[in-house]
Each structure stands twice: as structure tokens, then as C-alpha cells.
Chains A and B, each alone.
Chain A
Amino acid sequence: MKIIYLAIGASVLILTVWNLWTEKDWRKQATAAMVAVPLLLRVLLIK
């Protein structure tokens, strides 16, 4: 189960980072970055 949830987290992280780099509005880019922080920390099993 943990592996599945990590895979889901990694998938959402990839989509979020993709959104960050394709989004034109810097404010939405910043929002995507904030979403990415907890996802990255969980995928790396840091927090």
C-alpha cells in the first residue's frame, strides 16, 4: 500500500512540476511550487 501511495505522490509531483514550467502566470507557478514542497518531502520519505 505504501508503494502505491508513493507512486501516486510521485505522479502528482511530476504533474505539478510540469505545470510549474508550462504555466505563463508567475503567481500560478508559485502556487505549483508550494504544492510541490510537501509532495517532494514525502516522495523522498523525509517528512
Chain B
Amino acid sequence: MKKHQTSAAIISVLTLAACAVASATFLEHRKVEPIVSGPGVSEIAKLSKWYPGLAGTPADTDVYILRGKAPGASMLVLGGTHPNEPSGFLSAVLLIENAVPVSGTLYVIPRANNSGFSHNDPQEGAPTGYHFTLPDGQARFFRYGSRATNPVDQWPDPDVYIHAASGQALSGNETRNLNRGYPGRTDGTLTEKACYGITQLIRAEKISISIDLHEASPEYPVINAIVAHERAMPVASQVVLGLEFSDIKIGLEPSPKNLRGLTHRELGDATDTLAVLMETANASQGRLRGRTDEALVLTGIDPYYVKAQKLGRLYVPYDEKGHPIEERVGRHLTAIVEFALAMSSEYPDSPLEFQGVPEYQALAERGVGAFLRTAP
């Protein structure tokens, strides 16, 4: 064997070894961590039940249905639209594992963009996931995913993404953003098909109110806020007042009519549901953050955001205490309960009432782990 062939052989072996290690890491990310059904869960369906075109694809996802004993309105909660925004996903998980509807029906999709949980974004240095310790000592692990559908499942991206229903032009990678694809279509991309499935669920089940849970960078103007479709404004206004009584400051923004493809616009326009979106403050997805690790995801403590706050660059208060996940999940869950109260007040003939949802103060004192169930 010639000298250069020997070096080629050695380099090839090293390369294949590197590929094997990297592959194991990437494939590990596709494992789905369990969500334990709580006492309120009546049925677990697949989104393909409402749009069979999703069956067998990475976009098909679990829909948890929690039916109350008494009839009433219905609420859809979307967690994991952006899998790098953990408070939305975790709020959905805590609803599934704890909530018991008294009247009405609660639909929860914890992984709205299922494919987005199977990878994370390159060049972001994001952690693989985060842990919570349960009272019995068990650790529950959850993945920190990507904002968008896995390119392995939907590739290539176009240079410019054109929103099908409006012709709105966005940057090409937004083609994999679930919250730019609504109301979706059957002959579109995988992401648009997932959007269509969710829209079909809302139409078929006559969902009264749809809540899309998000997080935003502390430097993003729409934060600690509810964004509401114009038909949802009366109910959302009541929620803002209710949260103020609980000493939770939250803004209320009208859904812009010219910003297309998002839940709070398209679901409100394309269906009869009252469409709202909620944001909390997540430093681990911000541009100004420092070290990005599990601690940042869970505590939000970041010296660079404290400095940015002092320079007046942020849209949310920020100090050395950060914004812990308990606060962010607590905001979402408290608002969801307030939405149920507001719906019952606005539409007394079709009440919506939940029990067992972890309260803001209890989350702050006992932590998220205290409200997670032991996984099998």
C-alpha cells in the first residue's frame, strides 16, 4: 500500500468513528420522553385522526383529550409549537399530568411541532435537554428542541418562504416554522400539513378557544404578553384583569392583520375558535445570552441580560434572580385557568372549569418536579 493510501485509510477510519459518535448523539435526540397521563386524561389520539395525511410522518403527534363530567366549552392548548421554548411544552405536560376538567373538554397537544423535538439548532450551543427531580427522587428528562421542523424531515428550504394563503414573503428557513404555516394545506410541506391537521381538529371538534404557548427572548417587544385575535379580545381582556388581581403583570396585544401564518391570526380567521398566543421570557433563546446550558434554561439567570436591563435594552424586568422555569410555567398555567374562568363568564351556557392545575405560588415554592408524575 502506498504512503498516501495508508494515510487515507487512517483518516477514513477516524472519520467513520467521528460519524458513529455524532450519529449516536443525533439519533438519541429522536427518542421521545414519556408523558404520564393524569387522572383527567380520557383519551390519547393522534393528530392524523383529524388529517389522515399525517399518519406515519414525523409530524403526527399525540393529542391528549381531557373530558369533564359536565358538558361545556372546549379549549385547545398547544405546547411545543417551538420546541426551544420549554415553558410552553412543560405547561402542556403539567396540564396532562394534573388537570381534571369539571365541565367542558380540554385538548392538549404538548408537541405541536413533533419533528422540532428531534433535533436542535446548529451554532446555538443549546443543551440537549433539562431535568427535574421528583419528590420520590426520580429524575424526569425533557428535550430542548429546535424552533423549526427537522431538516431531515423537510428539506431543502427555499430561498424565500411564501405563505400559501396570503403570498406573504418571509426568509426561507421560516418554511419549517409551524407558527408561520397556518391554516396549512394538504399539498404543502410537512410543516404546513401539521398546521392543517391542527386546523382540522379545531374545526371538527368545534374548539371554543385555542391557546398557543410560547416563550420569547427578553429583548423581544412582545413578551409577558397575550396576543389575541380580535374576536378573542373580550375574553383576553378579562384574563389580563384576572392576572393583575394575582399580581401577575401581562400585556395584551391585538393580533396584527398583516402578520400571516400565525395561530392568533389564522386560526381565528379560518375557524370559529377564539385564538390567542402567550409569551413568557426565556433567556436561553435570546441573542444577548452568555453560556447556554441547562441551568440557563431552568433559571434564566444570565449576567449579560442583567447588564442589558441596566442599559434599557429589554422589554421585561430582569435582575440577578432571572426568570425561573417555575415562574414562566406558572404564568402560562395561571392564565389558562383565567381563560377558563373568562370563557365561563362570557359564555355561561357552556362553562369551562378545571381542577388540579398547579398554581403559580405552589410552583414557585415546590418547583415543577413536585407536579410531575413518576414515569414508568
Q: Which residues of A line the B interface, CB within 8 A? A: 1-2, 5, 17, 20-26, 29-30, 33-34, 36-37, 40-42, 44-47
Number of chain B residues whose Cβ lies closer than 8 Å to a Cβ of chain A: 18
A-B contact sample (14 more), CB < 8 A, given A33-B12, A46-B27, A47-B23: A2-B155, A17-B12, A21-B5, A21-B8, A22-B4, A26-B7, A26-B11, A29-B7, A29-B8, A37-B18, A37-B22, A46-B23, A46-B152, A47-B26
Choose one: B4, B15, B22, B27; the contact of A33 (CB below 8 Å): B15
Residue pairs across A and B with CB atoms within 8 Å: the count is: 53
Do A30 and B19 touch across chains, with their CB atoms under 8 A apart? no
| A35 (CB) vs chain B CBs: closest residue | B15
Which B156-196 residues have a C-beta within 8 angstroms of A? Answer: 156
How close is B346's CB to chain A, nearest CB, in angstroms?
46
Given contacts A2-B156, A47-B119, contact A40 B4 (CB under 8 A): no
Q: How far is the CA of A21 from the CA of B1 in the complex (A)?
A: 12
| B22 (CB) vs chain A CBs: closest residue | A41
Q: How far is the CA of A22 from the CA of B8 in the complex (A)?
A: 8
Which B176-231 residues have a C-beta within 8 angstroms of A? Answer: none
How close is B225's CB to chain A, nearest CB, in angstroms?
35
Tell me what chain A mostly uses at the interface: helix, strand, loop, or mixed: helix
Q: How far is the CA of A19 from the CA of B125 in the complex (A)?
A: 32
Against A, the Cβ 8 Å flags (1 = close, 0 = not) of B45-70 are 00000000000000000000000000
How close is B198's CB to chain A, nearest CB, in angstroms?
23
Choose one: A1, A26, A34, A47; the contact of B22 (CB below 8 Å): A47
Q: How far is the CA of A1 from the CA of B4 in the complex (A)?
A: 38
By Cβ-Cβ distance, the 4 closest A-B pairs, closest first, are A26-B7, A33-B15, A21-B8, A47-B26
State whether the Cβ of B32 lies closer than 8 Å to any Cβ in chain A: no
Which B28-45 residues have a C-beta within 8 angstroms of A? Answer: none
How close is B121's CB to chain A, nearest CB, in angstroms?
12
A contact residues around B7 at 8 Å (CB): 26, 29
Q: How far is the CA of A2 from the CA of B154 in the complex (A)?
A: 8
Do A37 and B11 touch across chains, with their CB atoms under 8 A apart? no
B contact residues around A5 at 8 Å (CB): 155-156
B contact residues around A17 at 8 Å (CB): 12
Do A20 and B11 touch across chains, with their CB atoms under 8 A apart? yes
